[in-house]
Amino acid sequence: MDSEPRQELLAGRYRVDGLLGQGGMSEVYHGYDERLDRRVAIKVLRPPANAPAAPSRPEAAEILDDLERDRKRFLREIRVMAKLELPGIPAVYDTGAEESPDGSPRLWLVMQLLRGSTLQTLVDRADYQSASPPVAWGAAIGTQIAAVLADVHRVDIVHRDIKPGNVMVTDGGLVKVLDFGIAILRGAGALPRLTQVDRTVGTPAYMSPEQCLGQVVTAASDIYSLGCLLMELLTGDPPFFATRDMPLRSHHLNAPAPTVRSRRADVPAELDSLVASMLSKDPAARPSATAVYETLLPFATRRPADSASAAESASAAETDETRDPTRPFRWPLLAPAASRRESHDGNRPKLTDTEAGLLLDNAFALLDTDHPSQAISLLEDGIARAWDDPALRLRLRHYLGIALFSAGEYTRAAPVLDAVEQEYLKRLPPDDSYVLDCAYHAGLAYAETGKPRKALAQLRFYVENADETADEDETRKLLQTRFIIAQLLATEDHSDEALAELQKVRPLFVEVFGENSTQVRNLDKQADRLRMPRS
């Protein structure tokens, strides 16, 4: 008798079992690692159903290129998160890309299989009318989420979709923040791009004002979402609801946020003030994740005086002893900032000309094959060894900035590229390719990290000095940059200037991309948003 056919294995070792859940671009399965004999979770990612099969038109080619950039960025940022090894993120075991049986590409991610309850389940089952969960319960969950955000924000990762369904309390009381990979894949950067139409990531009840407007999304957007979540954990409801007279978006943009104490009088005033600051309409006025952690921490370890009442409240929120989020505070959650030391002394062997050439060749090869972290290490070593050659050091610092940018480490990349650009300008003209390369990438890095004024200065410098007639690629790059400049002007509340810039470049977009192209449609969509009243 023939045996049953062997079930398909990803990478020859991961068995895909029953479906756990699914979304628009992903499916999560129970899985089994046959090599290590353990249960795992397997997330399979696929491109959108309407993605073109081939670059048959210019806009289709742009979309396919965009999807490929998203794929590479997703894999790279998953590797970054795997290195963090944070207790508040599911452990990443493996990732890869394979062809599905129907021939379409699929990305997969093998992760720690979690056992616990989502916050959505806990909040839905809690009785906030008669027995609200203890303040310490909500504070402990918020503290653990803030600890995760503090560490991922440090490496320029923004979640973009903090909400109850993306947070789990596991056995042992650890809080896990879920779906970083999907959020990064779908967000794919702080600013909208020419080939993205209506790809704003977020859940309406927890979206920051800048997300609602399609503007720059930074770490401050995660803080706003966490503020909405904290309000819900403490009172049972997020701050805003859609009403007959005002849609939810308008509440986020214009309505003053209710205070926590207006809904629950026993919440301490300091905690009330914290949530109010997190819900500020101005991203710059919101606290950092580290500040949120430090403010919440004392409340996370407090217990109500009435132990019987505490037990009743804990039961209402399903926080038994094994799933109590205050338990993990027996050890610190907030990991210290990763320290990086760059040696500048002369104790290391001098970098010879031959070694410098090989180093640069290897660095370029690593960047071309999507291994920026290795390129960064190589370039940092070269800079330390080029202590007697200022010109070589400057060139290596330039490429280090590009490698940092490629790795998504925008906070580190921007000042490096900015400083190198200023050094170049002492000996090179403004239209030199080295100068323009630094200005362009520094501007994008500043934009990604929520520094629109610095970004505008760099990107305007690039546009004013670049040769728009050089070639087709340069023309498209300049148009993309002017599109980003308009987005940054809108972020700085210069909506009229932003709209004027979009109207000025629209004929150029039509000439290069075509009247019915995705790029022109997206430009028109952004212009329509700028014309909309904020109410």
Q: Give catalytic residues, as residue numbers.
A: 161
- Both 360 and 325 in a single domain? no
Lowest mean pLDDT among 201-205, 234-238, 255-259: 201-205
- Both 489 and 375 in a single domain? yes
- Both 128 and 227 in a single domain? yes
- Both 169 and 308 in a single domain? yes
Residue 198 has pLDDT above 70, yes or no: no
End residue of a domain, out of 93, 112, 131: 112
Instruction: Tell me which of 8 and 517 has the higher pLDDT.
Output: 517
How many other CB atoms sit within 10 Å of the CB of residue 411?
Answer: 19
Classify residue 156 by burial, with Cβ atoms within 10 Å: 0-12, 13-18, 19+: buried
- The CATH code of the domain that includes 21 is 3.30.200.20
| 336 belongs to a structural domain | no
| Mean pLDDT of the residues in the chain | 83
pLDDT of residue 211: 87
d(CA 141, CA 261): 19
- The CATH code of the domain that includes 164 is 1.10.510.10
- Both 83 and 221 in a single domain? no
pLDDT of residue 368: 86
**What is the number of domains present in the chain?**
3
Residue 66 has pLDDT above 70, yes or no: no
End residue of a domain, out of 92, 112, 132: 112
Assess contact for 386 and 396: CB atoms under 8 A. yes
d(CA 356, CA 369): 20
Nearest CA-CA partner of 193 in 448, 456, 504, 463: 448
Residue 245 has pLDDT above 60, yes or no: yes
- Angle at 517 (CA atoms; ends 513, 520), nearest 5 degrees: 80
Please list the helix, strand and coil fractions of the chain in percent, rounded to the nearest 5, in that order.
Answer: 55, 10, 35
- Both 295 and 170 in a single domain? yes
- Both 178 and 278 in a single domain? yes
- Angle at 532 (CA atoms; ends 531, 535), nearest 5 degrees: 145
What average pLDDT does this structure show over 251-267? 94
pLDDT digit string, tens, across residues 511-528: 988 888 888 888 998 898
pLDDT of residue 122: 92
pLDDT of residue 294: 95
Structural domain that includes position 179: 116-330
| 346 belongs to a structural domain | no
Q: What percent of the chain has pLDDT over 90?
A: 44
| 5 belongs to a structural domain | no
d(CA 496, CA 502): 10
| 299 belongs to a structural domain | yes
pLDDT of residue 24: 56
The model's confidence at residue 179, banded by pLDDT at 50, 70 and 90, is: confident
pLDDT digit string, tens, across residues 18-49: 888 776 567 889 899 999 988 999 988 766 65
Where are the extended beta strands (E) located within 138-297?
167-170, 175-177
| 391 belongs to a structural domain | yes
| 413 belongs to a structural domain | yes
pLDDT of residue 51: 64
pLDDT digit string, tens, across residues 373-432: 889 989 999 999 998 899 999 999 999 999 999 888 899 999 999 999 999 999 999 999
Q: What percent of the chain has pLDDT over 70?
A: 79
- Angle at 176 (CA atoms; ends 315, 120), nearest 5 degrees: 50
- Both 56 and 164 in a single domain? no
The DSSP result for 46-109, as a single string, is: ---TT--SS--SHHHHHHHHHHHHHHHHHHHHHHHHHHH--TTSPPEEEEEEEE-TTS-EEEEE
pLDDT of residue 319: 45
Neighbouring-strand partners of residue 286: none
pLDDT of residue 309: 43
Task: Give the CA diameter of the chain.
Answer: 81
How many other CB atoms sit within 10 Å of the CB of residue 471?
Answer: 10
- The structure's pTM equals 0.72
- The CATH code of the domain that includes 367 is 1.25.40.10
End residue of a domain, out of 112, 127, 160: 112
Classify residue 325 by burial, with Cβ atoms within 10 Å: 0-12, 13-18, 19+: buried
pLDDT of residue 201: 63
- Both 63 and 166 in a single domain? no
Most confident of 114-128, 159-173, 218-232, 239-253: 218-232
The model's confidence at residue 173, banded by pLDDT at 50, 70 and 90, is: confident
- Both 63 and 140 in a single domain? no
pLDDT of residue 456: 95
Assess contact for 426 and 394: CB atoms under 8 A. no
- Both 454 and 467 in a single domain? yes
Assess contact for 229 and 119: CB atoms under 8 A. yes
What average pLDDT does this structure show over 131-146? 94
Instruction: Tell me which of 177 and 324 has the higher pLDDT.
Output: 177
What is the SS3 assignment for 214? Answer: coil
| 343 belongs to a structural domain | no
| 443 belongs to a structural domain | yes
Nearest CA-CA partner of 105 in 58, 62, 61, 72: 72
pLDDT digit string, tens, across residues 79-108: 766 777 788 988 888 888 777 766 667 788
- Both 288 and 381 in a single domain? no
pLDDT of residue 6: 56
Residue 336 has pLDDT above 50, yes or no: no
